[in-house]
A = this chain, B = another copy of it.
Amino acid sequence: MSIRNAHRTRPRTTRAPGLAALAGLIADETRAAFLLALLDGRAWTAGELARHAGVAASTASEHLGKLVAGELLAEERQGRHRYVRLADARVAQLVEDLAAQVTPGADRPRSLRESSAGSAMARGRTCYDHLAGRLGIAVTDAMTGLQLLRQDTGFALTDEGLAWFDDQGIPLVRTGRRPLARACLDWTERRPHLAGVAGAALCRHALGAGWCLRIGSERAVKITEKGERAFAELLGIEPTTLHRHAPLFAQYPVRNSRAFPTSRRP
């Protein structure tokens, strides 16, 4: 019997302590704010998170202790700083999934207005380690259109897609059980974009090659001139696409006209 429910008298037939405890870590407003901030994939110091969420340093310290103990965060001490980051891609995916479930924009009411400033700056973001926002959608759509990625029957790279990464010199190294390609539901665009090993590799490449730059201390990224050219040349993405708001619920091309939706064959 858990400490929390020690006053329970009735015999409990079925329990779910693990599930409830995990959700409990995210169920606090301050801890949730920490997790969302950490979705930028970088390490934050305890003080930064405390100021970000508007709580005292002591409070933040206690929260971080719980999140680290619950293995949602990994920590690294450097001198007098305590850096924390999301434990791994699984945790990032989990937080993304939960955030996507809530009504869109509920947690960031001002984000769209903020982004409207800046002409050459397309609204791009990162989700932990892959591209999101309009940029992420544009890349995913372009790869789907070029049949590098297949979304009509699930979410997977095609053989041509593997070749494309190979051609760009972007290595895809399988680590553990993380899938090569995975759909991540963007909670501002409400559409899936490329995550998984391939999404992370592409994002790393884009940052390394100077296609985009991180701006500020959060998740936003800015596309450079060089990046606009690269995305146009390699994926046929029109620069204007990155400036306009992408249409919701776009149709994806179906590769094979055969029987979709399927029906009983004569």
Residues of A bordering B, CB below 8 Å? 2, 4-5, 8, 10-29, 31-33, 35-37, 51-56, 90-91, 93-95, 97-99, 101-103, 106-107, 150-159, 161-163, 165-167, 169-174, 177, 179-183, 196, 249, 255-256, 258-265
Contacts and interface: CB of A to CB of B under 8 A. Distances in A.
Stoichiometry (number of copies): 2
B90 A171 contact: no
Given A16-B107, A162-B262, A169-B264, 5 more contacts: A13-B51, A21-B27, A22-B102, A151-B179, A153-B157
Contacts of A53: 12-14
A258 B157 CA distance: 14
Contacts of A258: 159, 162-163
Contact of A99 (B15, B19, B150): B19
Contacts of A27: 20-21, 23-24, 26-27
Nearest to A150: B156
Contact of A158 (B153, B169, B172): B153
Contacts of A91: 101
21 contacts: A5-B29, A12-B54, A16-B33, A17-B29, A19-B26, A20-B27, A20-B29, A20-B32, A21-B27, A23-B25, A90-B101, A94-B97, A154-B155, A154-B156, A154-B182, A155-B155, A159-B256, A159-B258, A162-B259, A162-B260, A171-B261
